[in-house]
């Protein structure tokens, strides 16, 4: 969780505690804070794990409770949900957009079904990084598809 989203979460702490069923003091692991120039607010916080998953994962079903809380309250989920969660299964490191480890180790449940990793988060990439970047990625995708089609 980046520092700016964490601040917005804290501003809604009372409502969020009730919604997610976890006290504010249990949301983040204080030993897992790191400074990072790529992070909004220049700091990342690690969310705590509860029952083997992020404290904000819906234990009764599927999905992120920060996302569903935002929709329920008519708020923009981008203000609460971490960027790395919104663009998953893509991520970034060292200034590069890459796929998450779960794609490589094949633990991503939905891998191999539906849209490409890029197409699945195209709108999020546009929101966070720009239409120009998405157009560049569209161009790369078309070239790769053309190249793959030439071998068939």
The 10s digit of each residue's pLDDT in 29-76 is 988 888 888 788 888 889 999 888 899 999 887 789 999 999 999 999
Question: The whole model's pTM is what?
Answer: 0.81
3-state secondary structure of 109: coil
pLDDT at 138: 94
Percent of the chain scoring above 90 in pLDDT = 53
CA pair distance 78, 81, nearest whole angstrom: 5
Q: Which two tokens stand for residue 59?
A: 């234990």
Which backbone phi and psi does 114 adopt, to 5 degrees? Answer: 75, -145
So what's the pLDDT on residue 41?
85
State how far the Cα of 140 lies from the Cα of 132, in Å rounded to an integer: 13
Q: Is the peptide bond before 89 cis (omega within 30 degrees of 0)?
A: yes
């Amino acid at each position: 969780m980046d520092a700016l989203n964490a601040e917005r979460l804290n501003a809604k702490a009372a409502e969020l505690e009730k919604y997610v069923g976890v006290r504010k003091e249990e949301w983040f692991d204080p030993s897992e804070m790191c400074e990072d120039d790529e992070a909004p607010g220049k700091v990342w916080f690690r969310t705590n794990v509860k029952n083997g998953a992020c404290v904000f994962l819906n234990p009764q079903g599927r999905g992120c409770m920060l996302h569903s809380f935002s929709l329920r309250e008519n708020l923009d989920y981008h203000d609460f949900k971490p960027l790395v969660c919104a663009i998953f299964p893509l991520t970034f490191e060292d200034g590069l957009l890459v796929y998450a480890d779960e794609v490589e180790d094949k633990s991503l449940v939905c891998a191999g079904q539906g849209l490409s990793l890029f197409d699945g988060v195209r709108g999020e990439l546009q929101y966070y990084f720009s239409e120009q970047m998405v157009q560049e990625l569209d161009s790369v995708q078309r070239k790769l598809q053309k190249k793959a089609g030439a071998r068939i």
